[in-house]
A and B are shown apart, each in its own frame.
Chain A
Amino acid sequence: MKVYIRHFLQKKGWKLIDMSMIKTKKLTFEYIHRDEEGNVEGITKAVDGVDLDIKEGDFIAILGHNGSGKSTLAKHMNAILSPSEGTIYVAGMDTRDEKNIWDIRKNAGMVFQNPDNQIIGQVVEEDVGFGPENMGVPTKEIWQRVEESLKAVGMYAYRKHSPNKLSGGQKQRVSIAGVLAMHPKCIVLDEPTAMLDPQGRKEVIRAVRALNEVENITVILITHYMEEVVYADKVFVMDKGQIRMEGTPKEIFSQVDELQKLRLTVPQVTLLAEECRKAGMPFSKGILTTKEFMEELQCLLS
């Protein structure tokens, strides 16, 4: 029944808002340090009592400085790590139950920071086919999925190329296609653009937004780059393993001082508007794009 409702809604272009994709309850993860003899030296709480509820079709961004716990949290989302305390449900399945692990990883795919660490095929299309092949998808369907996925990230023209001749942004898009070919409901991207140049960053973010808007895949984007966050439905800011701020990009970026305390910053255009506001120009809070800035400026000057 649910499936029918979803298809109906998707046809109408509506998002089903009450389906929970990822839900955590008091999620805690501890790293235990041991000395050479195996005695416990200390415990670090990398994730500390996080409550999250991410709905299907959402575009979520997670911000936080180096060491704030965002990557540890992300690794719980496809059961690479299992919580020390609390629970996490991915598409309604508890990640601590070993039986669920394969289903969870089918539902939630992950893309990592370094493009060179996640490509294994000698040819682009082979690499993308690796995931569905491992899942036991029939050969004919694998090729279909490879074609669809490569088209979705705009890399179909490169299907016969060798991955090591591609640019960083292209490699990352191939990695995303590889996840996409497994038909996940959700993609977790852990700083996918950190090692790319501005051009590559743009390509990857464009591909990710298309997945969310066109294919209605839930996206969880972890990043340091504030400019990449402005398109998200909701932003979470982490510090010391806890969620310190949450809201729409506008709500988050209007709190410039608060963000700076958490070792983050805001997009440069937001900062410019903020500085001008302090100097007596009545800009509104939380301007996110150059376009918005110019529109307000024109109003102010006329």
Chain B
Amino acid sequence: MPIILNHVNCIYEEGTTMEVAALKDVNLVLQDEQFIGLIGHTGSGKSTLVQHLNGLIKPTGGEIYFNGEDIHDDDFDRKKLRSQVGLVFQYPEHQLFEVDVFSDVCFGPKNLGLPKKEVELRAYEALKMVGLEDEFFYQSPFDLSGGQKRRVAIAGVIAMKPQVLILDEPTAGLDPKGREEILNMIRDLHEKMKCTIILVSHSMDDVADYAERIIVMNHGEVFLDGTPKEVFSHKQELEEIGLAVPTVTDIMHQVKELGYPVDESVTTLSDATDALVNLYHNVKKYY
């Protein structure tokens, strides 16, 4: 069942001189099993939005429906909601605290009140899912590298078996290879667990390669919503709000402006390479 946001508003410090509208009339339907990229610059409302999805923040107006129920109804089980909508914060490795990796991942399912065997099974599966080898299971999480720590933290959320997994800037501060590894891991998760993924990011290049739908936020409003191709065809509007299209899309736009018949809506490196090589061969053949 999808998550539905119906005219959601969020105003911080309402009724004071410090009043700020963080979300303005947001209407969204987040379908099951979609891989969604959520983009916007600092202060655009992305983080506020994702915190609404698992009920950490209550909207000042409008409703949020999960599995058809209003999550702020009095009889709605919000504890269950938080196990079903998993939120991985920025720099999640700062939240690691247990003596070893395995106990840290067990913490979430243990709090769900599951039997010990089930807890351990889930922790094991989650650690395998994020690609961590057995040899690390009984090490202190603080002895791992940055990328490994982040995997452990993500495993802690996966072990709750959420239907929706939200990751806030999961690649911040990692080196290029580490970034790629985490993003590939998220893609695998999406395929294996069949859950909805919401990837919050500043990086257009990352999101273009992985997401099937992109939502762009600006000043608390949904600015654009569609497939990467649709969203990145609005190059000028994106640039006006301080975001850029992926480098390859930018290049294809420039090639098109020179008068060559290319599809300027490509968003991935391999598509752009194919398009340019084709163009090159056609031009050469012609002369």
Interface stretch of the complex, out of B22-30, B72-80, B268-276? B268-276
Given contacts A197-B41, A290-B254, A298-B258, contact A269 B277 (CB under 8 A): no
Whether A290 contacts B251 by the Cβ 8 Å rule is: yes
Whether A167 contacts B276 by the Cβ 8 Å rule is: no
User: Nearest chain A CB to B214's CB is how many angstroms away?
Assistant: 16
- A:201-227 near B, CB below 8 Å: 224, 226
The 0/1 profile, CB within 8 Å of A marked 1, for residues 241-279 of chain B is 011101110110011001010000000011011001101
B2 at the interface (CB under 8 A from A): no
Whether B178 contacts A272 by the Cβ 8 Å rule is: no
Given contacts A66-B145, A66-B147, A294-B251, contact A264 B175 (CB under 8 A): yes
A198 at the interface (CB under 8 A from B): yes
Given contacts A197-B202, A300-B280, contact A265 B176 (CB under 8 A): yes
List, in ascending order, chain B residues with CB within 8 A of A260's CB: 177
Whether B247 contacts A272 by the Cβ 8 Å rule is: yes
A224: nearest chain-B partner, CB-CB: B175
The 0/1 profile, CB within 8 Å of A marked 1, for residues 141-165 of chain B is 0000111000000000000000000
User: Nearest chain B CB to A172's CB is how many angstroms away?
Assistant: 13
- A:267-302 near B, CB below 8 Å: 267-269, 271-272, 275-276, 279-281, 290, 293-294, 297-298, 300-301
Whether B280 contacts A263 by the Cβ 8 Å rule is: no
User: Nearest chain A CB to B203's CB is how many angstroms away?
Assistant: 8
Given contacts A269-B251, A275-B273, A301-B260, contact A263 B173 (CB under 8 A): no
List, in ascending order, chain B residues with CB within 8 A of A65's CB: 175-178
Residue from B173, B247, B258 within 8 A of A269 (CB atoms): B247
Q: When chains A and B are docked, how far (Å) is the Cα of A267 from the Cα of B205?
A: 11
Q: When chains A and B are docked, how far (Å) is the Cα of A21 from the Cα of B281?
A: 51
Whether A276 contacts B273 by the Cβ 8 Å rule is: yes
Whether B279 contacts A268 by the Cβ 8 Å rule is: no
List, in ascending order, chain A residues with CB within 8 A of B177's CB: 65, 260, 263-265
B43 at the interface (CB under 8 A from A): yes
B67 at the interface (CB under 8 A from A): no
A109 at the interface (CB under 8 A from B): no
Whether A198 contacts B176 by the Cβ 8 Å rule is: no
Whether B205 contacts A268 by the Cβ 8 Å rule is: yes
Given contacts A167-B42, A195-B172, contact A297 B276 (CB under 8 A): yes
Whether A167 contacts B43 by the Cβ 8 Å rule is: yes
User: Nearest chain B CB to A201's CB is how many angstroms away?
Assistant: 9
User: Nearest chain A CB to B269's CB is how many angstroms away?
Assistant: 6
B114 at the interface (CB under 8 A from A): no
Q: When chains A and B are docked, how far (Å) is the Cα of A224 from the Cα of B179?
A: 10
Residue from B42, B250, B277 within 8 A of A281 (CB atoms): B277
List, in ascending order, chain A residues with CB within 8 A of B112's CB: none
User: Nearest chain A CB to B7's CB is how many angstroms away?
Assistant: 28
Residue from A113, A226, A272, A294 within 8 A of B272 (CB atoms): A272
User: Nearest chain A CB to B104's CB is how many angstroms away?
Assistant: 20
Whether A280 contacts B42 by the Cβ 8 Å rule is: no
Whether B41 contacts A198 by the Cβ 8 Å rule is: yes
Residue from A224, A294, A297 within 8 A of B176 (CB atoms): A224
Q: When chains A and B are docked, how far (Å) is the Cα of A269 from the Cα of B244?
A: 14
User: Nearest chain A CB to B22's CB is how many angstroms away?
Assistant: 16
Residue from A226, A264, A294, A301 within 8 A of B279 (CB atoms): A301
Given contacts A65-B178, A269-B247, contact A301 B146 (CB under 8 A): no
By Cβ-Cβ distance, the 4 closest A-B pairs, closest first, are A263-B177, A65-B175, A268-B247, A265-B176
| Interface set of A (CB-CB < 8 Å, partner B) | 64-67, 113, 167-168, 191, 194-195, 197-200, 224, 226, 260, 263-265, 267-269, 271-272, 275-276, 279-281, 290, 293-294, 297-298, 300-301
Show 19 A/B contacts (Cβ-Cβ < 8 Å), sorted by A: A64-B175, A65-B175, A65-B176, A66-B178, A67-B146, A197-B202, A198-B41, A198-B244, A224-B174, A265-B176, A268-B246, A269-B247, A272-B269, A272-B273, A280-B277, A281-B277, A290-B251, A297-B255, A298-B258
| Interface set of B (CB-CB < 8 Å, partner A) | 41-43, 145-147, 172-178, 180, 202-203, 205, 242-244, 246-248, 250-251, 254-255, 258, 260, 269-270, 272-273, 276-277, 279-281, 283
A281-B277, A290-B250 given; 8 more Cβ-contact pairs under 8 Å: A66-B175, A168-B42, A194-B172, A198-B41, A199-B242, A263-B176, A264-B175, A297-B255
